[in-house]
Amino acid sequence: MKKSYLFPNFVLPLFGALAVMCAGSCSQEILESEEVMPDGQTRASTFEISLIVDPAGAGPGNEYYAQNRDYNFQAVYDEQYLDLMQGEITVRAIEGNDDAVKIVSRTDDRATLRFNAPGVYVVRAELQLAERFTGPGLHPVLIREAELICRVVSFTEKIVGPSTVVLGGEYSFKLSFTNPDYPDPILKITESVFNDPKYTILSNDGAGNYRIRFDQPGDYRIEPGVGWDNPAESPIIKFSPSYHVKVFFRPEMKFGLRVTSGSLQFRSYIYLCDSQHAEYTSLPFRTYFKYKMVSIADLLQNLEIDTVVGEEGEVRRDAGTWGMVGFAVTSYPVNDIFYTGNPPQDPGSYWEITIPGDTCYLKTCYKHAAELIVKDPD
């Protein structure tokens, strides 16, 4: 006989309330497990990664890398997934040999790699969320991938450049590579006198051929932009070659001397002039020279030059500035100025002016054991 159970009317509302509470609790638990985001997205569906590297690649697209240099690759993602993620970073050769890549160290989301030969490689990070995060049966394991193309360049054997240079001239430079299929696509050009390289690359064919104009004076160093690091196990260390261009502005100079009022002190001036001996009110190029005070003694017509200690220095003037240079006050009159290598014939005190010579040359460098061998110029 089938039994039936009847409840008093006052009990039924209690069951209804309990049912609503349970339903709400279950719904909230599901929401917390998926953490529904705006637009209907779950927390897990927002899991994205990217791949970064330090030091960064160079050249077009930041895709060019040096041989024998340690690169630190890292997968980047939201830290909330740190304990819920697993995966690895891998590398394979598109052009070249997989064996040419040394894995220095590796964890789930980081790897230090060293490329030992030219080629094109793909570094890939593949990370996945653990199932316990999304909840059994709610979502499959989520996998995300990110990758970087790494074009490893050849060693630059030599740089061929001009034999002479003049300010404002245009010159061709050619880089030669051990493997021409993987050229270094960029140049690194620095300047050491003004610490401000001013030049224009007129053309670059991507294969090591350049046309360059030096727009302002300076001491320029040209070297491969991606460069090369030496193998740690090699007994002979070779550095990438560098080509040096030194080119400077040589204005005419006039000397002036003023007596300081009220005392026997003297102030020397140099006026930078054009070829017509007109003083520059606005220099066409930046200007650099060294100066020092020298005392020339007669010594029975055998002139002897002595440097006055403490009275020396360097002058730098930017293009567009006034062409007058004042020196320190002296307690004695100064006769004149002269250029290095062309001393005056009369005894007295003079400012010796030195402007570096215009020159260009190739420098290569090798080190064997503890000895440094520099070939300069080549």
User: Could you tell me what percent of the chain has a pLDDT over 70?
Assistant: 74
- For position 144, what pLDDT does the model report? 85
What mean pLDDT value characterizes the chain?
Answer: 80
Helices (H), 2-116: 12-34
- For position 343, what pLDDT does the model report? 84
| Residue with more model confidence, 216 or 346 | 216
Fold agreement between 39-152 and 252-354: yes
- For position 84, what pLDDT does the model report? 64
| Residue with more model confidence, 131 or 72 | 72
| Residue with more model confidence, 19 or 89 | 89
Q: What Rg value do the Cα atoms of the chain yield, rounded?
A: 36
359 pLDDT above the threshold of 60: yes
CA angle 25, 27, 30 (to 5 degrees): 110
| Residue with more model confidence, 123 or 370 | 123
Mean pLDDT of 239-268: 88
33 pLDDT above the threshold of 60: no
Least confident of 16-20, 134-138, 371-375: 16-20
CA angle 273, 296, 277 (to 5 degrees): 10
Place of tokens 């054009």: 274
Q: Say which residues have a Cβ less than 8 Å from residue 190's Cβ, sequence separation at least 6.
A: 197, 220, 221
176-216 per-position pLDDT tens digit: 999 999 999 999 999 999 999 999 999 999 899 999 999 99
* Inter-residue contact 323 to 271 (CB < 8 Å): yes
| Residue with more model confidence, 181 or 142 | 181
In three-state secondary structure terms, 45 is helix
Place of tokens 């929401």: 31
Cα 130 to Cα 84, 87, 146, 318: the distances in Å are 5, 10, 18, 62
Domain 39-152: give its CATH architecture.
Sandwich (2.60)
Among 332, 250, 256, 260, which Cα is nearest to 287's? 250
- For position 236, what pLDDT does the model report? 65
pLDDT category at 303 given cuts 50, 70, 90 is low
- For position 266, what pLDDT does the model report? 87
**What number does CATH give the domain 252-354?**
2.60.40
* Inter-residue contact 129 to 141 (CB < 8 Å): yes
CA atoms within 13 A on the CB side of 21: 6
Enumerate the domain spans of the chain.
39-152, 156-246+359-375, 252-354
Place of tokens 């730098």: 316
* Inter-residue contact 364 to 239 (CB < 8 Å): yes
Mean pLDDT of 17-42: 39
Least confident of 41-50, 99-108, 209-218, 294-303: 294-303
Which backbone phi and psi does 271 adopt, to 5 degrees? -105, 120
Nearest-angstrom CA–CA distance, 233 and 227 = 19
- In order, the DSSP letters of 303-335 are -EEEEEEEEEEEEEE-TTS--EEEEEEESS---
